[in-house]
């Protein structure tokens, strides 16, 4: 793990240095939230920003450089692919796993893809522009369903998942307590999810069920969903905590 982190840090440093010294934009592939955090801590003094393709996307590329540094504005090298059944009438129900598995079977590296969105049996896939033509030409079937791919300008607004703010009451801000309340689980069930590395905060597995999430933490619970923790709203008369979170349905 340490070796992988060191290799990533070295790669980030090389891209940042090339951008700064040559006054050009340089880009990473799609990074997980944990990799984005590593970049924030390891790169200093060079302008950069993240592009995920849509608001709330977890995976994003990092673009080193700025209009001030490079003298022009860059359009991020990300294309958007719409993947839909050739015949909706005869297609089976297709899941996120079905679409992603079919894409991966083409030999495409996961780091060249952003977060897929699936809605009404149609998938929308942000990807690096250097693989978009290959993807469109070669992805013809998903789970025995014939599909067609096309490039689109952007992902439709109504397809982008939007979180719903919700309130819940807990005895403490322990992570297992928060998860149990949000997803209507027992404390032992939510604790077990942490212990089995199925709970990620900012893309990093959290094994300690007593961890206290911070405001703004993005928590992914595999098999259940994702939410943004927003903190304590008030303390009840009985000493319990009324908290809020933005939950992705």
Tell me the per-residue pLDDT of 165-214, one tens digit each, with 9 for 90 and over. Answer: 999 999 999 999 999 999 999 999 999 999 999 999 988 889 999 999 99
Q: What is the pLDDT of residue 56?
A: 81
Neighbours of 167 (CB within 10 A): 12
- Contacts with 150 (C-beta within 8 Å, 6 or more apart), sequence order: 81, 82, 136
Flag whether pLDDT at 3 surpasses 80: yes
Question: Which residue's entry shows tokens 């939007």?
Answer: 162
Q: Which string of DSSP letters, residue by residue, matches 75-135?
A: PPSEEEEEEEES-STT-----HHHHHHHHHTTT--GGGB---EEETTEEEEEEEHHHHHHH
pLDDT of residue 161: 85
Q: State pTM to two decimals.
A: 0.80
* DSSP annotation of 209: T
Q: How confident is the model at residue 34 (pLDDT cuts 50, 70, 90)?
A: confident
For residue 1, the model assigns a pLDDT of 61
| Average pLDDT estimate for 221-246 | 92
Report percent pLDDT > 90 for the chain. 80
Report pLDDT for 11.
95
All domains of the chain in start order, with CATH? 2-70 (3.30.1370.160), 78-159 (3.30.70.330), 163-248 (3.10.290.10)
The answer, yes or no, to whether residue 36 has pLDDT greater than 70, is yes
Q: For 46, which DSSP code?
A: S
Mean pLDDT along residues 65-77: 92
Residue 130 has pLDDT above 90, yes or no: yes
What are the pLDDT digits (tens) for 152-165? 999 999 999 889 99
3-state secondary structure of 25: coil
Asked whether the predicted pLDDT for residue 238 surpasses 90, the reply is no
pLDDT of residue 33 exceeding 90: no
Mean pLDDT confidence for 112-126 = 95
3-state secondary structure of 47: coil
Specify the pLDDT at position 77.
94
Helix axes 33-42, 2-22, angle to 10 degrees: 60
Question: How many CB atoms neighbour CB 222 within 10 A?
Answer: 13
**Per-residue pLDDT, 88:** 84
pLDDT of residue 223: 87
**Is the model's pLDDT at 131 over the cut of 80?**
yes
Q: Using CA atoms, how far apart are residues 168 and 182, in angstroms rounded to an integer? A: 7
CA nearest 11: which of 42, 37, 41, 34?
42
Rg of the chain (C-alpha set): 20
Distance between CA atoms of residues 66 and 155, nearest Å: 25
Tell me: pLDDT of 90 over 80.
no
Q: Give ∠ CA 36-179-57 in degrees, rounded to 5.
A: 30
| Mutual angle of helices 175-183 and 187-195, in 10-degree steps | 120
- CA terminus-to-terminus distance, the chain: 32
Phi-psi region of 71 (alpha: psi -120 to 50; beta: other; left: phi over 0): left
């Amino acid at each position: 793990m340490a070796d992988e982190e060191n290799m990533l840090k070295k790669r980030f440093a090389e891209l940042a240095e090339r951008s700064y010294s040559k006054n050009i934009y340089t880009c990473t592939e799609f990074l997980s939230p944990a990799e984005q955090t590593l970049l924030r801590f390891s790169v200093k003094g060079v302008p950069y920003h993240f592009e995920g393709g849509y608001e709330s996307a977890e995976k994003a590329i990092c673009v080193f450089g700025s209009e001030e540094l490079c003298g022009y504005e860059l359009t991020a090298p990300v294309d958007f692919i719409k993947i839909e059944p050739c015949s909706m009438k005869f297609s089976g129900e297709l899941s996120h796993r079905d679409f992603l598995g079919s894409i991966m079977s083409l030999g495409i590296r996961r780091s060249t893809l952003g977060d897929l969105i699936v809605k009404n049996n149609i998938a929308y896939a942000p990807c690096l522009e250097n693989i978009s033509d290959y993807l469109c030409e070669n992805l013809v079937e998903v789970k025995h369903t014939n599909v067609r791919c096309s490039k689109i300008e952007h992902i439709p607004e109504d397809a982008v998942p939007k979180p719903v703010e919700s309130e819940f009451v807990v005895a403490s801000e322990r992570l297992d307590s928060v998860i149990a309340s949000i997803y209507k689980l027992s404390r032992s069930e939510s604790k077990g999810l942490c212990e089995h590395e199925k709970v990620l905060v900012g893309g990093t597995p959290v094994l300690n069920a007593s961890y206290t999430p911070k405001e703004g933490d993005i928590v992914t619970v595999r098999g259940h969903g994702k939410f943004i923790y927003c903190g304590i709203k008030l303390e009840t008369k009985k000493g319990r905590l009324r908290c809020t979170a933005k939950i992705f349905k």
